[in-house]
Amino acid sequence: MPSRPYVLLSCATSADGYLDDATPRRLILSGPADLDRVDEVRAGCDAILVGARTVRTATGDLDLQARFFAPGALRLVYCATSALAVARARLGHRGDSAVLIDAGDPLSFDFMLSDLAERGVARALVEGGGHILGEFLAAGLADELNLAVAPFFIADPAAPRLDLPGPGADGPMTLAETCRVGEVALLRYLLGPGGPDHRFLRWAVELSRRCPPSNSAFSVGAVVVAEDGEVLTTGFSREQEDHDHAEEVALRKLGPDPRLRHATIYSSLVPCGARASRPVTCVGHIVAAGIPRVVFAWREPRLFTDGEGAEQLRAAGVSVTELPDLAERARSINVHLTDASSS
């Protein structure tokens, strides 16, 4: 199990950067389409974290309460020791739908993540409030930020913003995606140590969690990034067909593209140099596409083939970078295969 979960921060702001207005009733900045998107994100996480203050301000909002406490991931409400009694009172009958955690006083975010790892949580969504989001950013404890920007201004100095105690610990964020969701602009940023290579590869590892389960094939994620940092395509094993490998899915979705000649493909597992299911290996797809650089996390155990993907890529003139500090995270998603082979 990795030392801490993958941490995804999610928030919506006005165009001038406010999380809410200054009135007692919570302002819903997202539109219906973006609220549905957030529900899908929640469904893909093992745990959802909010602070006690967010629970208190949301108590009167029945729609927000229904969405947050809907069946699914473990709901965790973290608060300082001094706020426990108030949080319990505010949770009321929702207390059986969420776990209230004493995180010390002052709050210890390292403690939060260690606690989650011990609970078996691999992917955690942090939804607020502004203080907790800001602390995660400043401490360098976030891997991804989904920022929805609403098409209006609040322009009230009394309204809350992200409460950042200092600059982010890992420097500028890496922009991975921009898209329109209804009337909201969604920006996906990658964060974390190691710069863009580590960030894109961590994202590829997280994509592998979306693979349909299999007892005879690895779960792998892949991200293809252009020379200028634009994400061209992504893929994961078995995304479209039963025998799909992540790299071939990503390249199939993109099709021929001259930008591949200067691109990098990030894969949670070294691209296969041998396979039983199809005649063309992932090494073959990458070389045929002209991709000059591959970054991967985990070397393929000899469970299904004896392919030497990294060596074949290098022999074909492709630059290969291995980031073994992310190997355990990629392996943990396939632990049912590796443990079965050693028993």
Instruction: Indicate the range of 128-132, 222-226, 265-269 predicted with least confidence.
Output: 128-132
pLDDT at 3 over 80: no
Given 193, 217, 235, the domain boundary residue is 193
Instruction: Indicate the range of 41-45, 76-80, 108-112, 281-285 predicted with least confidence.
Output: 76-80
Tell me if 27 is assigned to some domain.
Answer: yes
Residues 223 and 107 in one domain: no
Tell me if 39 is assigned to some domain.
Answer: yes
Taking the C-alpha atoms of 194, 200, 203 and 208 in order, what is their torsion angle to the nearest 10 degrees? -120
Residues 145 and 260 in one domain: no
Residues 31 and 158 in one domain: yes
User: What CATH number does residue 155 fall under?
Assistant: 3.40.430.10
Q: How many domains does one find in the chain?
A: 2
State how far Cα 102 lies from the chain centre: 25
Report phi then psi at 282, rounded to 5.
-65, -35
Tell me if 283 is assigned to some domain.
Answer: yes
pLDDT at 34 over 90: yes
Q: Band the pLDDT of 75: cuts 50, 70, 90.
A: low
List the 99-102 sheet strands across, edge first.
Answer: 99-102, 74-79, 47-51, 123-128, 6-13, 144-149, 184-190, 174-181
Given 193, 213, 228, the domain boundary residue is 193
* Range 168-185 average pLDDT: 89
pLDDT at 99 over 80: no
Predicted local distance difference test score (pLDDT) of residue 62: 42
Q: Band the pLDDT of 98: cuts 50, 70, 90.
A: low
Tell me if 1 is assigned to some domain.
Answer: no
User: What CATH number does residue 222 fall under?
Assistant: 3.40.140.10
Q: Band the pLDDT of 24: cuts 50, 70, 90.
A: confident
Tell me: the pLDDT tens digits for 101-153? 656 566 677 877 887 888 888 899 998 778 888 888 888 899 999 999 999 99
Tell me if 18 is assigned to some domain.
Answer: yes
* Range 243-255 average pLDDT: 96
Q: Which DSSP category does 295 fall into?
A: E
Tell me if 129 is assigned to some domain.
Answer: yes
* Range 265-287 average pLDDT: 94
User: What is the pTM (predicted TM-score) of this model?
Assistant: 0.85
Predicted local distance difference test score (pLDDT) of residue 69: 54
Tell me if 113 is assigned to some domain.
Answer: yes
Tell me: the pLDDT tens digits for 37-68? 988 898 888 888 876 666 555 544 444 555 55
Residues 144 and 278 in one domain: no
Residues 145 and 263 in one domain: no
Residues 20 and 165 in one domain: yes
Residue 26, SS3 per DSSP:
coil
Residues 40 and 91 in one domain: yes
Question: Which residues have a Cβ under 8 Å from the Cβ of 289 and sit 6 or more positions away?
Answer: 251, 260
Residues 173 and 209 in one domain: no
Cis peptide before 129, with omega less than 30 degrees from 0? yes
Transcribe 104-147 into DSSP letters: TTTT-HHHHHHHHHHTT--EEEEEE-HHHHHHHHHHT--SEEEE
Q: Which domain holds residue 178?
A: 6-193
Residues 119 and 208 in one domain: no
Q: What angle (nearest 5°) sits at the alpha carbon of residue 235, between those of residues 230 and 236?
A: 145
Residues 188 and 203 in one domain: no
Tell me if 82 is assigned to some domain.
Answer: yes
Cis peptide before 324, with omega less than 30 degrees from 0? no
Residues 186 and 212 in one domain: no
| Own/partner long-range contacts of 31-38 (Cβ < 8 Å, ≥24 apart) | 31/150, 31/181, 31/182, 31/183, 31/184, 32/182, 33/181, 33/182, 33/184, 34/148, 34/181, 34/182, 34/184, 34/186, 35/67, 37/181, 37/186, 38/10, 38/67
Given 193, 218, 235, the domain boundary residue is 193
Q: Round to whole Å and give the CA distance between 144 and 188.
A: 7
Residues 151 and 226 in one domain: no
Residue 88, SS3 per DSSP:
helix
Structure tokens at 159: 């309204």
Strand pairing partners for 235?
222
pLDDT at 95 over 50: no
